[in-house]
Amino acid sequence: MTPSTTTASTTSASSSADPRDASDKSDDNVIPAVTCRDILIELFWYIKQKTVARSGTEPSQKLLFQDIVWSLEQEGILFWRDRRYHQSQQVAIRWLSENSTTNATAASSHDKIQQQVGVLPVSYSRFVDLVSPCATLFLKAFNEEHVIPDWTSFVSDMQIFFDQAAKDTSGQNAQYIPILRDANPDLWGISFCSVDGQRWSVGDASVKFSLQSVCKPVTYAIGLATEGTDFMEQWIDVEPAGRPFNTQDLDPATQRPFNASLNSGAIMAAGVVASAFPPATEWKEIVDHVRAKWQELCGQEDVGFSMETFESEKATAYNNFAIAYNLKGRRGLPRDVDLHKMLDVYLGCCSIEITAEALSVVAATLANGGICPITGKEVFPALVVRTVLAETMTCGLYDQAGHFAVEVGLPAKSGVSGAILVMVPGVFGFCTFSPRLNAKGNSVRGIDFCKRLVNCYRLHIFEPESGNNGVKIDPRKNGWKDEQKKISHLAWAASVGDENAIRLRDIFLLSLYRTATASEEGLSEKKKKIIQEKYEQVFLTELDTVLAESILTRANKCHDLTYLENLLGHTYVTDAIKEIIFNAMIEIAMSDDVMGKEEKNMAIRISRIVLGMSEDVARLELGRYEKHVGHRFEGSEIPDLIENVKSSILGPVGMNGKKPERTTSIGSLGGMITKEEEDILETYDHREDAFRLRKSLLKLGQRLSKISGSKK
């Protein structure tokens, strides 16, 4: 389909010509330029209609720049803080300088510039000017192609875990360093950054603190990148020690530190880094070099240095001095580097100041194979990062590293200032910050949060993708698209007589009927209709009356769920199918837009006892639905908010009460336009324009439905 060659009628949406007024003059043998133009048009209308849905304003209102920024934020992209969007940022600033109504100058604060640019209207031509330099990034953001496609739901869950962990007030600040001892123990913040640059922070994530032991992986990585693996292994091993972080013990066979996460290994790593500089180089210059590397890792966020922390640490560093002398006396130091300079570099690295927000980008860079997601630049080679992640996986949390590897199963590094740096390779990184430490020297709240995260999300490095993990949430999956594939496979198998699929069908219906009959009301006509609809949506055929009566009779007899358990014992059920059953039960429990207590409890019982779902996951998902009053299987329908949008183009062109079925493709929507609507479109001379906009609205409807409560 090509844009209409007819000039669009004037609408109140914009005083400029409609961007879709163009003729297709492209050669049949080449990809027409209008294809790229179509994508830009769709992006423009998508953002505009999303803004209308959010604010409730009339479609005629002009799109503002702040609406574009907000739309990106919903996908996790912080436009003004993401250096990949630098060229588009410069376009926006240029608009401001060209706008005579503003008084921005070169001396204006960054916040003031953002505020003034935000209220500027964005026409289609301006939109093209803005998006074109970073078109791939914009398209990826709005086309659900980020590693975490449902960022809004993910963030909502993280907020829940954050609030739950905040209740833990046990532990105390590190007592042996005065500046840490005197820090506010109630600080609590978390920040996330995905490998695609999606970011979110909450609490005290912008509070600066010293790195302490969190500096160790980066110092080690600098040594690996500069000197190579063979040289580093001469001085530092990679074996778990099973000893406190400040132990003076060395490997008795080699006289090396056990690993780079112990103080002895980190001091030796600082010695390796320092030994690469000329002997006359001051320790502070070397630390500044390390600090610059931290800035690269966090996308050029602010990374400071606290001389107060350095002096406080050095004044009480008796054990570290003992470790340094022990290293020199037992094996010697790399290139005979000065012992005091080596120790000063180590203490200086510990005294680098940073925020949880910046550290989350560092974690994401390591999770991304050494490429910073905010700048797109490689900071460390992939092989170096692999070695560092392996070392932190086995040694990163002092003598709690083994338990953390078992319970959380992610590479991480903690520090006594209260930070924990965590990497989920290929997905995201995050940092927790709370000064309250347990007996092992790790943040109490940080550990709590990490456990809650992996209890509900499939992130543990040893959890199989194939399933059997309590139906945990996979943040990487695009729920609507993935579910379509699951449904089509199951429906086909049942239709051809696959015995396992037929048992799955019975389990599906039994679970729904048991949930529907859990309350005193029993099986109402409304619930019966919902069950029929869910069955048809999943198995793509009508529910046979005889089958329905047979299953209902069985459901009324299996109050203790024994029959369901026995049936399940002879059936292969993937986590994907369990997820479909669970979501259908939620539909029953939400039949009156309020989750009934009896139905809710039954859904949890079936999920836990029969489906083997983690109770934490079940309650988290039920909480999502209760919060949003959303309906999973209506994820492809246009919400009322969108249906009610009135405009000179779409007002008369409704769906005649019809909504696209779950299996309806975008391309087949044209058949939903009646002859009467076609006549109206001819009158407006906008047939193709309206259809194109309807496509955009449908996509937006799907997105907003999912944002409003659909499970991924």
Task: Quote the Cα angle for 498-663-493, to 5°.
Answer: 5
Maximum mean pLDDT: which of 115-129, 286-300, 611-625: 286-300
DSSP label at residue 652: T
Asked whether the predicted pLDDT for residue 507 surpasses 80, the reply is yes
pLDDT digits (tens, 9 = 90+) for 595-612: 778 888 888 888 888 788
Confidence of residue 444 (pLDDT cuts 50, 70, 90): very high
Asked whether the predicted pLDDT for residue 240 surpasses 60, the reply is yes
Confidence of residue 427 (pLDDT cuts 50, 70, 90): very high
Asked whether the predicted pLDDT for residue 632 surpasses 50, the reply is no
> What's the pLDDT at 555?
83
How buried is residue 461: exposed, middle or buried, by Cβ count under 10 Å (0-12/13-18/19+)?
A: middle
Return the biggest CA–CA distance within the chain. 93
Are 413 and 261 within 8 A, CB to CB? yes
Which of the pair, 373 or 26, is modelled with greater confidence?
Answer: 373
Cα–Cα distance list, 501 to 494, 564, 586 (Å) = 5, 15, 21
Confidence of residue 593 (pLDDT cuts 50, 70, 90): low
Backbone φ and ψ for 231, nearest 5 degrees, come out as -65, -45
Q: What is the 3-state secondary structure (H, E, C) of 319-374?
A: HHHHHHHHHHHHCCCHHHCCHHHHHHHHHHHHCEEECHHHHHHHHHHHHCCCECCC
Confidence of residue 572 (pLDDT cuts 50, 70, 90): confident
pLDDT digits (tens, 9 = 90+) for 6-33: 333 333 333 344 444 443 333 434 434 4
- SS3 for 304? strand
CATH code of domain 161-456: 3.40.710.10
Q: How many other CB atoms are there within 10 angstroms of residue 78's CB atom?
A: 18
pLDDT digits (tens, 9 = 90+) for 186-208: 999 999 999 999 999 999 999 99
Which of the pair, 499 or 106, is modelled with greater confidence?
Answer: 499
> What's the pLDDT at 51?
83
Average pLDDT taken over every residue of the chain: 81
Asked whether the predicted pLDDT for residue 144 surpasses 50, the reply is yes
Nearest to 303 by CA among 208, 376, 179: 208
Asked whether the predicted pLDDT for residue 692 surpasses 50, the reply is no
Q: Which residues of 300-321 are buried (b: 16+ CB within 10 A; e: fewer)?
A: bbebebbeebbebbeeebeebe
pLDDT digits (tens, 9 = 90+) for 256-287: 999 999 999 999 999 999 999 999 999 999 99
Which of the pair, 134 or 350, is modelled with greater confidence?
Answer: 350
The residue type of 670 is G
Confidence of residue 385 (pLDDT cuts 50, 70, 90): very high
> What's the pLDDT at 480?
52
Classify domain 479-634 by CATH architecture.
Answer: Orthogonal Bundle (1.10)
According to CATH, where is 3.40.710.10 located in the chain? 161-456
Which of the pair, 3 or 150, is modelled with greater confidence?
Answer: 150
Instruction: Report the alpha-carbon distance of residue 297 to residue 251 in Å, rounded.
Output: 32
Which of the pair, 662 or 55, is modelled with greater confidence?
Answer: 55
Instruction: Report the alpha-carbon distance of residue 352 to residue 366 in Å, rounded.
Output: 19
Asked whether the predicted pLDDT for residue 467 surpasses 90, the reply is no
Q: What is the 3-state secondary structure (H, E, C) of 76-145?
A: CCCHHHCHHHHHHHHHHHHHHHHCCCCCCCCCCCHHHHHHHHHCCECCHHHHHHHHHHHHHHHHHHHCCC
> What's the pLDDT at 99?
76
The residue type of 159 is Q
Instruction: Report the alpha-carbon distance of residue 374 to residue 633 in Å, rounded.
Output: 35
Length of the chain: 712
> What's the pLDDT at 104?
52
According to CATH, where is 1.10.3680 located in the chain? 479-634
> What's the pLDDT at 207?
98
Asked whether the predicted pLDDT for residue 364 surpasses 90, the reply is yes
Instruction: Report the alpha-carbon distance of residue 686 to residue 7 in Å, rounded.
Output: 9
> What's the pLDDT at 559?
67
Query: Can you tell me the mean pLDDT for 140-160?
Result: 92
| Beta-strand relationship, 412-414 and 209-210 | unpaired
* Both structure tokens of 659: 């909504």
Confidence of residue 57 (pLDDT cuts 50, 70, 90): low
Query: Can you tell me the mean pLDDT for 309-330?
Result: 96
Instruction: Name 194's bridge partners.
Output: 428
Q: In this structure, what is the dihedral angle of CA atoms 637, 641, 644, 648, given to the nearest 10 degrees? A: -100
Asked whether the predicted pLDDT for residue 48 surpasses 70, the reply is yes
> What's the pLDDT at 465?
74
Which of the pair, 383 or 708, is modelled with greater confidence?
Answer: 383
